[in-house]
Amino acid sequence: MPIEAPFKRMSTADDPTLAQEFVAFAVHAGVLRFGEFKTKAGRLSPYFFNAGGFDDGAKLGRLAEFYARRILASGLPFDMLFGPAYKGIPLAAALAVELARRGRNPPFAFNRKEAKDHGEGGTLVGAPVAGRVLIVDDVISAGTSVRESVALIQAAGGRPCAVALALDRQERATEDGRDAAWSAVQFVTRQLQLDVVAIATLQDLLQYLHAAADPALSAFAGPVQAYRERYGV
């Protein structure tokens, strides 16, 4: 698929300590694990990031702090938050709470996978979708979730302005079963013309592993670097 439009802003460096703090937190929480994992694309990856592991109040609250710090440091303008079903729902809700705690109180909304045919009906829940809408998700694998969110937001009268992620894998997407020349994040920034802010990237993970004092962690620096060289963008 040709991607002609230029990159928009992709911010990961506004807060110089944030990425390393986040990677350390994700490792400690067991959300970022190392070994051998088969990805949806069929690749054997030496690391695995599962945002579903932020599964208690303390971890989810800490995660929301990282999102808030990254988003506020980036200076990204937005009017409300949108959480794509399903993982984006608790992320958007927790982020809204954390932003309110920091003096900014954005409304938020999310979608159902299936339309409700009683009560208020429809697929959208929460605040009316309007203005500049920031989509909150964990990672982007193929951009499908973002495309669906964009369509929902636009149909409701809002304007998608950006996507906030926990981790940018900096990894080539797949298209028709083959490796593409672009990553899912590049697709979002170029084709969908949306800004992307990520708390951390695969390069930040590599930096963490290279500096790790624990030999059990530093041992994975080589395999992750090799994976980056083979599938990275």
Helix%, strand%, coil% for the chain, nearest 5: 40, 30, 35
Taking the CA atoms of 183, 6, 71 and 105 in sequence, report the sign of the dihedral they define. negative
Q: At 201, which amino acid appears?
A: T
Name the residue among 91, 53, 56, 86 with its Cα closest to residue 71. Answer: 91
Is 28 part of the annotated catalytic residue set?
A: no
Catalytic residue among 38, 40, 113, 118: 118
Cα dihedral angle (29, 146, 148, 41), rounded to 10 degrees?
Answer: -70
Q: Determine which one of 8, 59, 113, 116 is catalytic.
A: 116
Annotation marks residue 118 as catalytic: yes
Distance CA 151, CA 139 (A): 19
Taking the C-alpha atoms of residue 156 and residue 168, their distance in angstroms, rounded to an integer, is 28
Active site residues: 116, 118
